[in-house]
Structure 1
Amino acid sequence: MASGSVGERIAAYRRRRGLSQTALAGLVGRSESWLSQVERGIRSVDRLSVLLDLAKVLHVDVEALTGAPWQYAPNGGSVPDSLSEVRQFLSRYDSLLGVAPDRPTTVPELDLAVTAAHEAYQAARYEDVIAGLPALLSQADSLHRTAFDGRRDVLIGYSAAYALAAKLLTKVGAGDLSILAADRCATAAVEADSMTARGLAAYQVVCALLRSERPEDAEPLAVGMAEEAQRNARADRPTLASVAGSLWLIAAVIASRRTEQAEAWRRLDQAQALADMLGADGNHAWTAFGPTNVGIHRVSVAAELGDPAAALRAAESVDLDRLPKGLKSRRAQMHLHLGWAEAQRKRDADAVLHLLEAERIAPESVRYNVIVGELVRGMLARQKRGGRTSALHNLALRAGVLR
């Protein structure tokens, strides 16, 4: 692995590939002057999608460019340990071996377990969710194999459990496992013949595909399912409307990663229409969908497009206090975007304040975010050596950027 800053690593791998700055910049849709500034450490890579594109063109993993594992934060050691148990469970296929469940469960019991896990996930307690995931999925598998009365409810409960698993595994970067969990979720949703379950499953498949760097596969599913769900959405069916809106939001993010600005805003407008129809923020089917979440995604899309001024303007109309109680990860995400925007404008003190606020709200939401490390490294490079006892320095230590 090349040493040095992200910019120095990009330069080293670019030269190894025999590419000029002009050629590499063109392949990732940026200017030669932008790449020159990145390689010299004057600016940081301002979009996750660009970091992914650079890694793909240079034939290296993202980790080779960032200098640290990007699935997990360097100081997130307990998550990989727990994740090995999840991987082991998903690889056992007890049903094929005829292994009987330890204890039969019921739909209400499974629903309670899924609810508790979703609450922990939305509070950004990811390590807690991973620790309990094998037991939760064992419950779901047990019910799926042994319960035949009320089969539709069984399938919906099973699908919900694996949707939660896919969501969490995508968050921590376990791409192979998240696709497996999302596929099991989708299979059960189709068998249950539930539009809501199908929409939720589609959303998790899309997220897993994006995490595995397959936006070309994710986009048609996101848009197609959003259109189908929206045709059936009504004000008196808030769950389905929320699912449709969430699909439009992830479709907007996909468009922004392809730098299709007009299409990204159009998809956000589709989501806005559904949010306006609902009239209030909600958390139906754990989607966190509503007017405020649409506003947060306007900030997200501006960030993905590399436009800090637009991100800051969009944030002015977002009132995080309107979000339902418990959505800590969503609140923290807003501050992460604003931290990025302020860092791009070289307003590092304001950027640090947003990162610290995100950390206060949901520490694990900061710890397992690949962009945070890059932001902190960029600001450290601009900071005078005499200021290394600052809040930024302490944040860098906690994030594993400094040892």
Structure 2
Amino acid sequence: MVSGSIGERIAAYRRRRGLSQTTLAGLIGRSESWLSQVERGVRSVDRMSILLDMAKVLHVDVESLTGRPWQYAPNGGTTPADLDEVRRYFARYDHLLGEDAVPILNSASLRSLAANAHQRYQSAEYDGVVTDLPEILLAADSLHRVSGTEDRREMLLSYVSTYVVAAKLLTKMGAADLAQLAADRCANAALEADSLEAQGMAAYQVVCALLRADRPEDAESLALKMASRLATQARSDAPSLVSVAGSLWLISAVIAGRRTDRVEAYGRLDQAERLAAMLGHDANFAWTAFGPTNVAIHRVSVAAELGDAREALEVATAVDPDALPAGLNSRRAQVYLDLAWAQAQRKRDSEAILHLLEAERVAPNAIRYNVVVREMVREMLARSKRTKFTALHNLAVRAGVLD
């Protein structure tokens, strides 16, 4: 493996492939001056997808460019040790052995249990949800396998809600295989329930799982098709349907941003904004956190995905995180994470650290389970005076970057 900084590695592998800066920059959709600055260490690579594109063009893996293990992810990375219990649960097939557990909950109780898990997830209390998840899934599966249930549709909707929060959490934790399995169980139950809203919720989780598995093309196709399908049925007296449709437009905008398609990204944000206007206020229907403020937060995120630090800082001035409903800590933290990224790209590390500290104050786990944050902290550490017990050093320890 070539040694040196990321910029030096990129330059070495580029020369090994016999490519000029102009050619490589064109192949990854960036300017020659941008690539020159990266190779000279003047600026950092501003998006994960750019590293992936470079690796493909240069015929190397991403680790060869970064010099350390790398996991592509939409958001997340560090896996808690007790996820092992969740993995063991998914490996159980008691029903094939005739060992089904007797249901201990009815549909209403299961939905209440799932709602509590959703609330804790949205408050970024990930560790607690991980601990409780096997028990919650067991309750859902045992009820699901009871034939002839009188309220079967209600049970199916409760089951979907349960596996939606499971898929969210597993995607956040980086367990792509389990996230896809959970999302698939959502989809099957949503189809049986004949609920368009539930199908949209399941589709969103499949999209997130596909992104985690590094399949952005498949994720984008599903997001767009389902968003378009739901949008035809969206109306002001169906707020959950509006919210799910809007969320699918938002994630499709982020995907477009990752492949540097500015027109598509902002066009999809506009579609989401129209649905937010139909909804009329910030809300959390179907556990989407969808509304005008979340659209505004995504405008910052899309600017960050496009690598436009100046735009991210500008559009952030229109965001009021306190306008979100209570409990949506992870959404509140996101705008501070994007602002930290923008300031770090401009090498204003003091401002970046302040934004990261604010994000940590709002949702501590939003720092530890975010791969972008850890890469940002590593870059700032490389630029800093290696003094222990500074704010950056202490943040790096809490984020899992340093021991």
TM-score, L = length of structure 1 = 0.91
Shift of 1:207: 1.0
- Amino acid corresponding to residue 222 of structure 1 in structure 2: A
Shift of 1:14: 5.3
The 5-angstrom pairing of residues 4-403 of structure 1 reads 5-11=5-11, 21-58=21-58, 62=62, 65-66=65-66, 70=70, 79-101=79-101, 103-146=103-146, 148-385=149-386, 389-403=389-403
After superposition, the C-alpha distances for 1:84-124 in whole angstroms (9 at most, x for unaligned) are 22122112222222222155321122111111111111011
Shift of 1:388: 5.4
SS of the residue 2:197 aligns to: helix
- Amino acid corresponding to residue 373 of structure 2 in structure 1: V
After superposition, the C-alpha distances for 1:192-242 in whole angstroms (9 at most, x for unaligned) are 100100010111111111111211111121111111111111111111111
Aligned 8 A contact 2:186 2:202 in 1: yes
CA RMSD of aligned residues (A): 2.5
Number of residue pairs matched? 400
In structure 1, distance between residues paired with 2:106 and 2:160 = 15
**Structure 2, unaligned stretches of length 5 or more?**
none
Shift of 1:361: 1.2
Aligned 8 A contact 2:78 2:370 in 1: no
In structure 1, distance between residues paired with 2:18 and 2:167 = 39
- Amino acid corresponding to residue 221 of structure 1 in structure 2: L
In structure 2, distance between residues paired with 1:47 and 1:206 = 20
After superposition, the C-alpha distances for 1:18-62 in whole angstroms (9 at most, x for unaligned) are 766555434322234433433443222211222333344455655
Greater shift after overlay, 16-25 or 210-219? 16-25
Aligned 8 A contact 1:340 1:351 in 2: yes
In structure 1, distance between residues paired with 2:35 and 2:124 = 34
In structure 1, distance between residues paired with 2:305 and 2:389 = 32
In structure 2, distance between residues paired with 1:60 and 1:156 = 45
- Amino acid corresponding to residue 134 of structure 2 in structure 1: P
Aligned 8 A contact 1:79 1:127 in 2: no
Q: CA separation of 1:25/1:83 partners in 2, compared to 1, >3 Å: closer, same or farther?
A: farther
Q: CA separation of 1:123/1:80 partners in 2, compared to 1, >3 Å: closer, same or farther?
A: same
Q: CA separation of 1:67/1:176 partners in 2, compared to 1, >3 Å: closer, same or farther?
A: farther
Shift of 1:191: 1.0
Aligned 8 A contact 2:77 2:174 in 1: no
Greater shift after overlay, 372-381 or 318-327? 372-381
Q: Which of structures 1 and 2 has the larger relative contact order (alpha carbons within 8 angstroms, sep 6+)?
A: 1
Shift of 1:141: 0.6
Shift of 1:383: 2.6
Aligned 8 A contact 1:72 1:173 in 2: no
- Amino acid corresponding to residue 245 of structure 2 in structure 1: A
In structure 1, distance between residues paired with 2:300 and 2:323 = 16
In structure 1, distance between residues paired with 2:175 and 2:229 = 29
Q: Structure 1 vs Structure 2: percent identity of aligned residues?
A: 66
**Structure 1, unaligned stretches of length 5 or more?**
none
After superposition, the C-alpha distances for 1:121-150 in whole angstroms (9 at most, x for unaligned) are 101111211111111111111011015221
In structure 2, distance between residues paired with 1:275 and 1:99 = 47
Q: CA separation of 1:287/1:6 partners in 2, compared to 1, >3 Å: closer, same or farther?
A: same
TM-score, L = length of structure 2 = 0.91
Shift of 1:293: 0.2
Q: CA separation of 1:22/1:80 partners in 2, compared to 1, >3 Å: closer, same or farther?
A: farther
SS of the residue 2:91 aligns to: helix
Q: CA separation of 1:189/1:373 partners in 2, compared to 1, >3 Å: closer, same or farther?
A: same
Aligned 8 A contact 2:176 2:212 in 1: yes
- Amino acid corresponding to residue 384 of structure 2 in structure 1: Q
Shift of 1:10: 4.4
In structure 1, distance between residues paired with 2:156 and 2:6 = 46
Q: CA separation of 1:236/1:376 partners in 2, compared to 1, >3 Å: closer, same or farther?
A: same
In structure 1, distance between residues paired with 2:3 and 2:401 = 14
